């Protein structure tokens, strides 16, 4: 096969960290055509702007898109401004609330801005699916839905579970995978990416493209990234996330709190460190040659450096060493327990957090400590009594000169 070496090299890059690849032979043919004819692949991922902030869990697929860009292909960053008004039912036990058009647009602006921390804006085509979905007539919709069956829709585990439990499934929710699939038809996508919980939706796109006489898209799914608690998927609502806009020190500290068993996965999905080097480090770790703290420090330097630059990452390491190695924060720091129900989008009112420490004897004393600059969360001063501060399992709080607390989210 002509260009075989180039094609296999690219596939090796594309397959890094991938959980499932549907249509690998199709991918080979598309890549060979790229090298033979210069026809770039159209690589698509849809984003429902249901929340305005991006954390490292979101960057897993964004980094894969960037790899396609680096290989010379066209990335379509698709804002689901139309489908976002429905709400993706994937993994949901109940019908999701529908967003207003204004909410979707506001979130999309912030989301896109943050995504360009990873994607090359010069090589990214931003599209909104209202461009074609908003123009569909009822007749068009009937023709599209006629190509899929109810049995096919009920293959979705979340739909089946809700129906079995006697919980409602809105008819509009059936339309979500149909419209996401039609996005692929409208864009004539060659590849579509998503988390492994998106496999059903992505395969519907493959089905619809065949029905419309198009070459079916290759489907790539990426693993969902566990948060720093090592248990649940990274999520703001669970408080186990690392935001891409967090300070270098906060980001560094959170990465250092990641359980040891997740270090390798974080390296593969969140850094550009070669797989051979990651394997070598893992072997050294398992033999006791590489201390997990040093391995995590390397991980933190790589990730923080990607978002803040190498110098800021080194500063964060130095600050972290001062805080922990020099015992500024004792290992015996008292724990503060917070339940997930006490958090709102991963945040808690700073006054409520202070009250849990037992240090201030009154609200006025708590207010004075904050206003005097005596309260630090993850190394950053909190100077506003009205703030809802982001916390997660493993965050640390300093009150005054000698009172240190470790926050546990349960």
Predicted confidence at residue 256, as pLDDT, reads: 87
Predicted confidence at residue 325, as pLDDT, reads: 55
Q: What are phi and psi of 55, to 5 degrees?
A: -115, 180
The label of the residue with tokens 């004897």 reads 361
Does residue 409 carry a pLDDT above 90?
A: no
The Cα–Cα gap between 25 and 6 comes to 15
Predicted confidence at residue 367, as pLDDT, reads: 87
The Cα–Cα gap between 101 and 115 comes to 21
Query: Pick from 69, 252, 91: which is nearest to 161 by CA?
Result: 91
Size (the chain), residues: 410
Predicted confidence at residue 250, as pLDDT, reads: 82
Of 270-279, 282-291, 295-304, 384-393, the range with the lowest mean pLDDT is: 384-393
The Cα–Cα gap between 258 and 235 comes to 14
Does residue 208 carry a pLDDT above 90?
A: yes
Q: What are phi and psi of 40, to 5 degrees?
A: -70, 145
The label of the residue with tokens 């079916």 reads 216
Does residue 84 carry a pLDDT above 50?
A: yes
β-pair partners for 380: 377
Q: How confident is the model at residue 210 (pLDDT cuts 50, 70, 90)?
A: very high
- Say if CB 309 and CB 352 are below 8 A apart: no
Two structure tokens written together for 198: 């998106």
The Cα–Cα gap between 280 and 274 comes to 10
Q: What is the pLDDT of residues 380-405, one digit of tens each?
A: 778 788 888 888 777 888 887 667 78
The Cα–Cα gap between 333 and 363 comes to 23
Three-state helix/strand/coil letters over 175-209: HHHHHHHHHHHHHCCCEEEEEHHHHHHHHHHHHHH
- Say if CB 223 and CB 269 are below 8 A apart: yes
DSSP code of residue 71: T
Residue 282 host element (H or E): helix 275-286
Q: What percent of the chain shows pLDDT beyond 90?
A: 44
Q: What is the DSSP string of 316-340?
A: HHHHHHHHHTT-SS-TTPEEEEE-G
How far is C-alpha 367 from the chain's CA centre?
35
Give the mean pLDDT of 287-299: 92
Predicted confidence at residue 49, as pLDDT, reads: 72
Give the mean pLDDT of 349-370: 85
Give the mean pLDDT of 285-306: 93
Q: Which of 20-34, 75-89, 319-333 has the highest mean pLDDT?
A: 20-34
| Complete domains list, the chain, with CATH | 4-222 (3.40.50.620), 248-324 (1.10.240.10), 334-409 (3.10.290.10)
Give the mean pLDDT of 212-241: 88
């Amino acid at each position: 096969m002509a260009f075989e070496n180039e094609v296999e090299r690219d596939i090796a890059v594309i397959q890094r960290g991938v959980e499932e690849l549907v249509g690998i032979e199709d991918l080979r043919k598309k890549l060979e055509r790229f090298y033979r004819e210069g026809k770039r692949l159209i690589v698509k991922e849809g984003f429902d702007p249901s929340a305005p902030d991006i954390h490292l869990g979101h960057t897993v697929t964004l980094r894969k898109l960037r790899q396609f860009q680096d290989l010379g292909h066209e990335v379509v960053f698709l804002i689901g401004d139309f489908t976002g008004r429905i709400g993706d039912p994937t993994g949901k036990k109940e019908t999701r609330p529908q967003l207003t058009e204004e909410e979707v647009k506001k979130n999309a602006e912030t989301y896109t801005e943050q995504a360009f921390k990873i994607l090359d804006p010069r090589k990214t085509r931003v599209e909104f699916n209202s461009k074609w979905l908003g123009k569909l007539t009822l007749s068009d919709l009937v023709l599209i839905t006629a190509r899929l069956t109810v049995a096919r829709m009920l293959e979705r585990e979340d739909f089946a579970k809700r129906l079995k439990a006697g919980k409602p499934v809105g008819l509009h929710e059936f339309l979500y995978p149909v419209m996401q699939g039609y996005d692929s038809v409208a864009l004539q996508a060659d590849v579509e990416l998503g988390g492994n919980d998106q496999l059903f939706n992505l395969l519907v796109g493959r089905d619809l493209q065949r029905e419309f006489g198009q070459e079916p898209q290759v489907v790539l799914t990426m693993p969902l990234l566990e948060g720093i608690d090592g248990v649940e998927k990274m999520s703001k609502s669970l408080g186990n996330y690392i935001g891409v806009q967090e300070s270098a020190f906060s980001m560094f500290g959170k990465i250092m709190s990641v359980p040891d068993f997740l270090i390798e996965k974080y390296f593969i999905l969140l850094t550009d460190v070669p797989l051979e080097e990651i394997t070598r480090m893992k072997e050294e770790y398992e033999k006791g040659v590489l201390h997990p703290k040093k391995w995590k420090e390397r991980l933190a330097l790589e990730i923080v450096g990607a978002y803040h630059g190498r110098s800021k990452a080194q500063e964060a390491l130095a600050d972290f060493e001062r805080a922990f190695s020099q015992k500024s924060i004792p290992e015996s720091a008292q724990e503060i327990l917070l339940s997930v129900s006490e958090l709102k989008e991963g945040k808690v009112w700073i006054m409520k957090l202070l009250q849990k420490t037992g240090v201030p004897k009154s609200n006025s004393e708590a207010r004075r400590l904050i206003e005097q600059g005596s309260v630090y969360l993850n190394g950053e001063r909190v100077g506003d009594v009205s703030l809802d501060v982001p916390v997660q399992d493993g965050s640390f709080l300093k009150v005054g000169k000698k009172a240190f607390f470790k926050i546990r989210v349960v």
